[in-house]
Structure 1
Amino acid sequence: MTGRPDMKPLGWTRWLRRGPWENGAMSVIGLGILMLTQPFSLDLYTYSFVTILGGTLGFVVVSHFPQ
């Protein structure tokens, strides 16, 4: 952040806050798990691992963002 607690974050730090991006990454992981366990489409099952992997890698990257 800016180092000044009395002011709002400026510029790119406003967009790179950890909370919303972590929620998005966890949602992608959850979507991948749903794709893995559904019995209807072989295509969804096929791409479930890639979706879970992408969400996990996204979570690892986002966990280094500032609060």
Structure 2
Amino acid sequence: MRTFHLPDMSCGHCVAAITEALKAVDPEVKLEFQREARTVQVGSAAEDARLVEALTEAGYPPKLV
């Protein structure tokens, strides 16, 4: 699992958009959100660069924790 800090994530809509973006990259992705901390743990075979690209395109540029 990799943890990304998503400073712009603040609500359920954000979680849904992030989930959709990452499932487009890897339909088997495992996600664990911590909305208060603005982080998501990602379990995926996809490369970090592709996950970062998908998050950025969805409007949630991450910082790797």
Query: Shared fold (TM-score greater than 0.5)?
Result: no
Larger of the two Rg values belongs to structure: 1
TM-score (norm 2): 0.28
Query: RCO greater where, 1 or 2, for CA within 8 Å and sep 6 or more?
Result: 2
TM-score (norm 1): 0.28
More strand by share: 2
More helix by share: 1
